[in-house]
Chain A
Amino acid sequence: MKDKKNIKKNVITKLLIGILFIIVINILSSFIHFRIDITSEKRYTLAPATKKILKDLDDIVYFKIYLDGDFPPGFIRLQKETREMLNQFRAYSNKIQFEFTDPSKISNQKQREDFFKQIISEGVNPTELQVKDKDGYSRKLIFPGGVANYKDKKVAIQLIENQSGKNPELALNSAVEALEYNLANSLRKLIGKSKKKIAFVEGHGELPLLYRQGAIADLSEFYVVEKVEIDGKFSSLTKRHPVDEDSTNYFVKNNYDAIIIAKPTEMFSRDEKDKFIIDQYIMNGGKVLWLIDGVRASMDSLQSKSQTVGMSNDLNIDDMLFNYGVRINHNLVTDLNALPIPVVVDNSGTQRMIPWVFMPVLVPTAEHPIVRNVNLIRTEFISSIDTIEVPDLKKTILLSTSQYSKAYNAPVMVKLSYLYEQPDVKQYNQSNLPVSVLVEGKFTSLFRNRIPQEIATAPSIKFLPESENTAMIFVADGDIIKNQVQFTSGSPVALPLGFDKYTQTKFGNSDFILNCIDYLCDDSRLFELRSRKIELRLLDTQKTENKLKWQIINLVIPVAIVILAAIVQYFARKKKYSY
C-alpha cells in the first residue's frame, strides 16, 4: 500500500518537474535569440561590407520603422525580417537602436492624416491595401519603410519599391532580398564621411543642366557631383604631381572616381585631344558611364511636325568605343513593350494614351546587382549595342529590349502616324537586343602605337598604353539620364529622374543610374548585397490542385506512424514481459 503511494507520489513529482521544465525552457527560448544560418542563400548572415559599416559607427543610429500594426501575412513577413535584420545589426554594433511604430494607431483623424503627410514628406511612400475587417473590406495605408537618424542627419528608407506589374508576393520577396542593402545603404548615406567625386563631362553638347537635375539630386546624396569641361586640358580629368620637388618624374592621379558622358550631340574634337584625355583617365583606372545616342532623334522635333528623320549621331568616338569592346549601332530600336504617350484621336481634341514603339520600356532581367530589383526603365529613341571580342575584358549585358523588338538602321523615318496603326507582331522579330553593357577588365589605350614617341615617353604626360583593372558602362540611350520638365507659371521645373508626367509613373531610371555609379565607385562592396537572392519557395500550384492527397499525407500518415509504433511497442513489451 505504502509502495503504491510512493510510486504515485514519484510519478506526480516527475510530471510536475517535467511540466515546469517545459515552461521554463519555453520562457528562456523566448528571450534568447540563437540562430544558425543553414539557409542555402545565407540569408541570415551579414555581408562583410555591412559588418564594416556597423563596426565603424561612432554614434547612435536610430531607426524608426513604420511597420507595425495589423498587416496581411506578406507584410508581417517583411516586418519580421526587418526586425531580425535590425537585431543582427545590433549584434554587431550597440550604436543601433530601433523602434517599430504604427502610424495608423493615432485615433484623431486629422492628426493621423497630418502624420501621414509628414511621413510622405520625409520620403517614405505609402502602399494602399485592401484589408478585411468586421465591417467588410476597407482600404488601409501602410508605410513600408522608415527613417534613420544619425547625429543631425536623417534619411528615409523605402523597403518596397513600387514595381509596376510585379506580382505582390514577388515584390515583397524583392523587398526582403534588398533589406540588408537598403538598411546598410541608409547607414552609408548617413555616415558618408568622405564622399567620392564624380563629374558630368561637358563641352560636346551634352544634356543641359535642367535635364540632368534629377540625376544630380539623386547622386548628390552619395557623391560630390561636379561638372567638368575637358576643352583639351590634361588637368581637367587627371592631375600630374611631381614625385618630389626636384623631380622631373610625375605620378598621375585621377580627379574623379567616375565621369558621366550624358548624351553628347557634338563631335569630340577632330584633333582628338579630348578623346586622348578621356582615354588616359580610363588608363589610370577611371570609370566612365557612357550614355550615347546612336541616332539623333527626339520627341521635340515631333512637337511641331508630324514626322522626323532619325540621323546617325556621328560623335567621332566610334573607334574609341570599339577599342573598349563595344559598338553603339546607328539604328533605332522599336519595341512593342513601349511607353504610352498622349495622342489626340479626334477633332474634338480627345486624348488617348497609345504605346509609342520608339520609346521602349526596358524590363531589367539580367541577374546582375546593377539591375536586380530595379523597376522598369523608360527610354527614348534607343539604339542597340554590339560587343566586340577583346581579350582581358569581361562583358555583361545589363539591359536589353523585349522579345518583340526591331531595329531600323539610320536614317530612319519617324512618323507620328505609326501611332494610329495596329503594330504587326510578326514584324517585331528581333528579340532581346542589348541596350546597355558593362565592360570590366584591362583596357588597351586607343592611342597605343598611334602617338609620337616623344609624347608617349614624356614624363610630364605619363602615357599609359594599358589600364589597370577598371570598368565602364555603356548605354545606347542618352535619355535614360534625362529628367522631364514641367512648366509652372511659365518657368521650367525639373521633375525627378524617371518620373513620367504623362503616365504619372516613376520608372527605375534613377535606381539604374545610381546603381551604375555605385557599382563603378563603390569599393566597400556593399553593392554586392544587391545581387543577394532569396529563393521564394512558393507552393507548386499544379501540385496543390490535388489538395486532399497532400492533406492526407500531412495529417494522417504521421498519426498512423505514431499509432503503429505504439502497437509495435505494446506487442514487444507483451512478448518480453509475459510468462
Chain B
Amino acid sequence: MKKFRIPLLILALLAIIILIVANYQSNREFRSKENNFVVEDTASVTKFFLADRVDRYIKCTRQDDGKWIINDTFPANKEVVDLLLETFATLDVKYPVSNAATENIIKSLSINSVKTEIYQKVYRINLFNRIKLFPREKLTRTYYVGSETMDKMGSFLIMEGSKQPYVVSIPGLRGFISTRYTTNIMNWRNRNLLNMKLNDIKQISLVYPDSPTESFILVNNDNKSISLFTHPHKKQIHDFDTLKAIQYFNNFKDLNCEAVRNDFSQAMVDSLNSQKPYFSLEIVDFNNKAIELKAWKRKAAPGAINIDDGSDLEFDPDRMHATLSTTKDVYVIQYYAFGNIILPIDWFDKNWKEKLEFVDIF
C-alpha cells in the first residue's frame, strides 16, 4: 500500500482542487442562490408568508383538501392564490441593479418592501425524483419585493442576505409584479358568501320587513318535493311553479360579495344591525345548521342622481351592505349578484310572466 501513497495523495489533492473550483464556478454563474427567485414546482408549495413594513401579514397555508386558508382563519381567494403561485413559477430576472443604483434601491427596499417566505414539501431522501422518502416542510425561499421600476416594467427584488438587488418581471408581462405580493387581507379573502345547491338545502326563508306579503318560505322535502309557504303565517301555497322553485334553490351556488368592509368599526356594525334590514335570508341545511344573511340598502354617494328623472338618489342603486351570521364582517353585495335571490313570493306563481305582460300592456 506504501507504493500507492503518492498517487493517492495526488488524487486527494485533485479532489480538493475540484471542490475549490466548483465553489468558485458556482459563484461565477449568473443563476446563483442570490437570484434564484423561481419556484418551479408550485405543487410542492405548502405555505407562503407575506409581511410588509407596517406589520400587516398574510400567511397562506395549503390544507389537506388542497384548499388554501388565510391566517389560519379565512378561506383564501383561489384566483389570487393561483396568480401568486404562477408568479412564483414564472419570475424572470431582467437584469441586476447597477452598482450605481444599488445603495438607493436597498434603502428603498428596507423602507418599503414585502418579505416573502415560501415553504415547500421536500424529501430528506430523494433519488432521481423517483424514490422520495421522509417528507418535511422546508423554508426554501426568502426574498423582499420592493417597488416598481421607473418604466413600470419590472419590480425590485432582493434575496435575504444578499447585497445585490435585481429587476424582476414575468416574460411577456407588460407591467410589474409587486402588486401581486399584497398584504391587504381583503385582497386575499375568499369573497364567497354562500355556496349551496338543492340537495344541501332543507329550508329557505326570505323575509322583507317592509313588504311582508312578498316574503316566503321554501321547504325541500327530502329532495322529493318542494313546498312553498307564506311568511310569517306559514300558509302553504299549493299551486306554484315547482320548476322555478328548483331553479331558485340552485341560485345559491357561488354567491359572492364585491368586497369586505374592513373600515367598519364595531359601533358602525352595531348601528347597522340595529336598523331594519331590506331583507333577511335564512338557509337551513339538512344538518339543521342555519346561516342568516341580512342586507341593508346603502346610502347613495353624495350628488348621485337618478338617470331617469334627474332626482337625487337616496340609496345606492347597485350595492347593499350585508352581514352573515357566521362571521362578524360587513360585506358589500350587488343587486346584480343577488338579483335571482331577492324575489317576491309571486314569482313562483305559474302566471308570473303573464301578469307582468298584463301590467306592461295596460
Contacts and interface: CB of A to CB of B under 8 A. Distances in A.
Interface centre among B14, B25, B92, B98 (most CB of A within 10 A): B98
A62 B8 CA distance: 43
B243 interface: no
A28 B18 contact: yes
A60 B18 CA distance: 28
B96 A106 contact: no
Given A17-B4, A17-B8, A149-B95, A24 B18 contact: yes
A98 B30 CA distance: 6
Given A21-B7, A90-B28, A59 B99 contact: yes
B111 interface: no
Contacts of B101: 151-152
A399 B30 CA distance: 44
B22 interface: yes
Given A20-B11, A111-B172, A28 B21 contact: yes
B173 A114 contact: yes
A300 B89 CA distance: 57
Contacts of B15: 24
Contacts of A150: 98
B11 A24 contact: yes
Contact of A99 (B4, B28, B93): B93
B172 A113 contact: yes
B357 to A, nearest CB: 46
Interface string A143-183: 00000011110100000000000000000000000000000
A27 interface: yes
Interface string B317-340: 000000000000000000000000
B14 A60 contact: no
B8 A59 contact: no
B39 to A, nearest CB: 15
B94 A149 contact: yes
A52 interface: no
B17 interface: yes
B90 A106 contact: yes
A284 B8 CA distance: 72
B31 interface: yes
A105 to B, nearest CB: 9
Contacts of B94: 64, 149
A106 B172 contact: yes
Interface string A73-91: 0000000000000000010
B27 to A, nearest CB: 11
Interface string B63-107: 000000000000000000000000000101111101111000000
Nearest to A87: B28
A118 B174 contact: yes
Interface residues of A, number: 35
Given A31-B22, A90-B28, A97-B30, A62 B95 contact: yes
Contact of A24 (B14, B95, B170): B14
A114 B172 contact: yes
Contacts of A90: 28
Interface centre among A58, A103, A152 (most CB of B within 10 A): A152
A25 interface: yes
A116 B174 CA distance: 12
B17 A28 contact: yes
Contacts of B356: none
A101 B94 CA distance: 11
B11 A17 contact: yes
Contact of A103 (B30, B31, B93, B171): B171
A132 interface: no
Interface in B140-176: 150, 170-174
Contacts of B21: 28, 31-32
B100 A118 contact: no
Interface centre among B14, B15, B150 (most CB of A within 10 A): B14
Interface string A113-129: 11111100000000000
A58 B170 CA distance: 28
Contact of A60 (B22, B92, B96, B173): B96
Interface in A22-68: 24-25, 27-28, 31-32, 58-60, 62, 64
Nearest to A27: B18
B172 A99 contact: no
A97 B164 CA distance: 13
Contacts of B100: 59, 151
A28 B14 contact: yes
A452 to B, nearest CB: 57
A112 interface: yes
A24 B13 CA distance: 10
A62 B94 CA distance: 9
A151 B98 contact: yes
Contacts of B25: 31
Contacts of A13: 1, 4
A150 B167 CA distance: 12
B25 to A, nearest CB: 6
B14 A62 contact: no
A242 B122 CA distance: 78
B28 A117 contact: no
B38 to A, nearest CB: 12
A147 to B, nearest CB: 8
Contacts of B95: 60, 62, 64, 149, 154
Contacts of B98: 59-60, 150-152
A349 B297 CA distance: 69
B172 A118 contact: yes
B30 A99 contact: yes
Contacts of A20: 11
B171 A21 contact: no
Interface in B2-20: 4, 7-8, 11, 14-15, 17-18
Nearest to B173: A114
B15 to A, nearest CB: 6
Contacts of B22: 31
A190 to B, nearest CB: 11
B101 to A, nearest CB: 7
Contacts of A111: 90, 170-173
B171 A115 contact: yes
B315 to A, nearest CB: 42
B41 to A, nearest CB: 14
A5 to B, nearest CB: 14
Contacts of A152: 98, 101, 150
Contacts of A21: 7, 11
Interface centre among A114, A116, A117 (most CB of B within 10 A): A114
Nearest to B86: A108
A125 B92 CA distance: 21
A497 to B, nearest CB: 27
B169 to A, nearest CB: 10
A536 B14 CA distance: 38
Contacts of B14: 24-25, 28
A97 B241 CA distance: 73
A152 B97 CA distance: 9
A113 B94 CA distance: 18
Given A111-B171, A149-B94, A17 B17 contact: no
A27 B18 CA distance: 7
A32 B18 CA distance: 9
A99 B17 CA distance: 26
Contacts of A60: 95-96, 98-99
B24 to A, nearest CB: 8
Contacts of B171: 103, 106, 111, 114-115, 118
Interface of A: 13, 17, 20-21, 24-25, 27-28, 31-32, 58-60, 62, 64, 90, 97-99, 101, 103, 106, 111-118, 149-152, 154
14 contacts: A13-B1, A17-B7, A24-B14, A27-B18, A31-B25, A58-B99, A59-B98, A97-B96, A106-B172, A114-B173, A115-B171, A117-B172, A118-B174, A150-B98
Given A21-B11, A99-B93, 5 more contacts: A60-B99, A64-B94, A106-B171, A118-B171, A149-B95
Of all A-B residue pairs in the complex, the 6 with the closest CB atoms, nearest first, are A114-B172, A115-B172, A149-B95, A115-B171, A62-B95, A31-B21
